[in-house]
């Protein structure tokens, strides 16, 4: 499907919500919804690559998600491990550079290995950058940045602290702030996601559950974004 939109976002980020409800509606286990959700991730990512979007990111697993039942956490981690290995040809064919951001120290060694391998294998790709936020929370990111910046300030008290300097310590350093955040399943909140980075992000909320969010729904969100007038606090 071609896309004829004049004003495309540079960075689109997605909060994938509604996998569990999608599965429950079909009388299936919640994990069935997560597995179908991986298909949506592929559909949206390959469409973004085709349409010339430079960054796409997904809130795949939050710091708070560690509190879900152990079996669901395990299945989600397994799904991500499997997808990272299985999708390598998709990344190479579509010139996608893969990255993972978050508190990786909490991931299993197996998953960390898969992350490292897939990131290394795709590092030379320069089309779309796809980012998975894994074991991530916005407050965690701000705290780890503040701690590292404070450490550097002790060694260099003359350093001028401003937003640009602070941004260099966030895990998203070097990645443009999201222009558009899409959240599925009718929930209208940010859930401790990129708190600092979304200061001027446009939000699009849709009732579609994540496993049903495919190319047509993505295009509709991009069309809505293209109609927005972004003033960044100016007139």
C-alpha span between 19 and 41 (Å, rounded): 12
Instruction: State yes or no: residue 16 binds ligand FPP (CB under 6 A).
Output: yes
- The answer for 176, left when phi > 0, alpha when psi is -120 to 50, beta otherwise, is beta
Q: Which helix (H) or strand (E) holds 38?
A: helix 30-51
**Toward ligand FPP, which CB reaches closer, 212 or 223?**
212
Active site residue 156: no
C-alpha span between 142 and 148 (Å, rounded): 10
Site string for ligand FPP, 174-203 (x = CB under 6 A): -----------x------------------
Specify the stretch interacting with ligand FPP by CB under 6 A; choose among 14-22, 112-120, 146-154, 200-208. 14-22
Specify the stretch interacting with ligand FPP by CB under 6 A; choose among 37-45, 91-99, 118-126, 145-153. 37-45
Specify the stretch interacting with ligand FPP by CB under 6 A; choose among 36-44, 117-125, 190-198, 217-225. 36-44
Q: Which helix (H) or strand (E) holds 135?
A: strand 129-136
Q: Is the dihedral of CA 36, 39, 41, 44 positive or negative?
A: negative
**Toward ligand FPP, which CB reaches closer, 118 or 197?**
118
**Count of CB atoms situated within 10 Å of the CB of 189:** 11
**Toward ligand FPP, which CB reaches closer, 9 or 37?**
37
Burial of 61 (0-12, 13-18, 19+ CB in 10 A): buried
Q: Which of 19, 46, 75, 129 binds ligand FPP (CB under 6 A)?
A: 19
Q: Looking at 4, 19, 65, 94, which residue is catalytic?
A: 65
**Toward ligand FPP, which CB reaches closer, 21 or 228?**
21
Taking alpha carbons only, the member of 140, 83, 130, 74 closest to residue 107 is 74
DSSP 64: G
Interface residues for ligand FPP in 70-109 (CB under 6 A)?
Answer: 76, 79-80, 83
Residue 226 CB contacts under 8 Å (≥ 6 apart), including other chains: 5, 6, 7, 8
CB of 17 to ligand FPP, least distance (A): 5
Residues in touch with ligand FPP (CB under 6 A): 16-21, 34, 37-38, 41, 58, 60, 65, 76, 79-80, 83, 132, 185
Residues tagged active-site: 17, 65
């Amino acid at each position: 499907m071609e896309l004829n939109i004049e004003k495309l976002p540079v960075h689109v980020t997605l909060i994938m919500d509604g996998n569990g409800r999608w599965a429950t509606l079909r009388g299936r286990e919640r994990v069935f919804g997560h597995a179908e959700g991986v298909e949506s991730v592929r559909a949206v990512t390959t469409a973004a690559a085709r349409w010339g979007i430079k960054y796409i990111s997904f809130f795949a697993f939050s710091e708070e998600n560690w509190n879900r039942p152990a079996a669901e956490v395990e299945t989600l981690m397994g799904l991500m491990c499997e997808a990272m290995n299985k999708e390598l040809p998709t990344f190479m064919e579509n010139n996608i550079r893969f990255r993972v951001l978050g508190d990786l120290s909490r991931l299993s060694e197996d998953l960390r290995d898969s992350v490292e391998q897939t990131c290394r294998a795709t590092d030379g790709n320069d089309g779309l950058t796809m980012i998975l936020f894994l074991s991530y929370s916005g407050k965690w990111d701000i705290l780890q940045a503040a701690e590292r910046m404070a450490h550097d300030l002790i060694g260099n008290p003359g350093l001028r602290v401003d937003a640009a300097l602070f941004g260099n310590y966030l895990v998203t350093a070097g990645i443009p702030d999201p222009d558009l955040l899409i959240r599925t399943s009718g929930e209208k909140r940010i859930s401790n996601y990129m708190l600092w980075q979304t200061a001027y992000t446009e939000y699009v909320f849709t009732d579609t559950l994540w496993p049903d969010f495919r190319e047509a729904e993505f295009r509709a969100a991009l069309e809505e974004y293209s109609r927005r007038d972004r003033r960044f606090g100016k007139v």
